Amino acid sequence: MKYTAVVAGKSIEIEFEAKNGTIEARIGDRRYTLESSNVEPGVYWFNLQNQSIEVRVTSAGETFTVSIAGQSLPVEIVDARSALKKAAQRGHEGMVEVRAPMPGKVVRLLVADGAEVNANQGLLVMEAMKMQNEIKSPKKGVVRKLSVSEGVAVNSGDLLASIE
């Protein structure tokens, strides 16, 4: 199987074949042969040259947070199909979605629909656990759609606004 992973903005090619608990993998230009077992949901045990290594994976969409030896790494996986989908989305030239970085409550809107905003200008204020945090515009543009109103509770990843 062949995928592209994106780690810290850099793409890396992955190819692997799994047979009877043994995995042959190529990651970038490095090759590995290892034993693998999906020991619990989201938990992989690897035996790499008799080194016992446990890796935990949690996911939000196509982005995974991988935890290994006490460190964590965000990894995005792209296959041929989702790469096509991505390209199609880019058809909305310059439309950027702003999503909630954490669950919380929208306490204040700082801009209105149709307002012109600069990059890093505050769009709204969210509150989680009594701490307030300003959600900023990722780019200069026009607020095309404010998807939330004041007082509304949102979950992590909910659409807050679109900036064109």
Partner 1 sequence: MIFAVFKKVLVANRGEIAVRVIRACREVGISTVAVYSDVDRGALHTRMADEAFHIGPAPSRESYLVIDKIIDVARRAKAQAIHPGYGFLAENAGFAKACADAGITFIGPSAASISLMGSKVESRRAAAQYGVPMVPGTLDPVESEAEARRIAESVGFPIMLKASAGGGGKGLRLVRGADELESAFRNTRSEALAAFGDSAVYIEKFVEQPRHVEIQVLADHHGNAVYLGERECTIQRRHQKVIEECPSPIMTPDLRRRMGEAALKVVRAAQYYNAGTVEFLVDKNLQFYFMEMNTRLQVEHPVTEMVTGLDLVKLQLQVARGEKLTLRQEDVVMRGAALECRVYAEDPENNFFPSPGKITQLQTPAGPGIRDDSGVYEGWTVPIEYDPLISKLVAWGANRDEAIGRMKRALQEYYVGGIKTNISFFLEILEDSNFKQGFFDTGFLDRWFANRNGSQPIPEVHHDLAVLAAALQYSSRTIPGGASNSTPSNPWKTAGRLGGLRRR
Q: Which residues bind partner 1 (CB under 8 A)?
A: 1, 3, 5, 7, 12, 14, 16, 18, 21, 23, 25, 27-28, 30, 32, 36-38, 40-44, 46, 48, 53, 55-59, 62, 64-71, 73, 75, 77, 79, 102-105, 127-129, 131, 133, 153, 155-156
Nearer to partner 1, 5 or 95 (CB): 5
- Label each residue of 28-96 as H, E or C: CCEEEEEEEEEEECCEEEEEECCEEEEEEEEEECCEEEEEECCEEEEEEEECHHHHHHHHHHCCCCCCE
CB of 104 to partner 1, least distance (A): 5
Check if the beta carbon of residue 79 is closer than 8 Å to that of residue 86. Answer: no
Nearer to partner 1, 43 or 119 (CB): 43
Check if the beta carbon of residue 160 is closer than 8 Å to that of residue 100. Answer: yes
Nearer to partner 1, 74 or 114 (CB): 74
Q: How many CB atoms lie within 10 A of CB 98?
A: 20
CB of 115 to partner 1, least distance (A): 26
CB of 108 to partner 1, least distance (A): 16
- The residue among 53, 51, 77, 49 whose CA lies nearest residue 63 is 77
Check if the beta carbon of residue 115 is closer than 8 Å to that of residue 163. Answer: no
CB of 46 to partner 1, least distance (A): 6
Residues 6+ apart with CB under 8 A from 99: 157, 158, 159, 160
CB of 6 to partner 1, least distance (A): 10
Nearer to partner 1, 106 or 117 (CB): 106
Nearer to partner 1, 27 or 142 (CB): 27
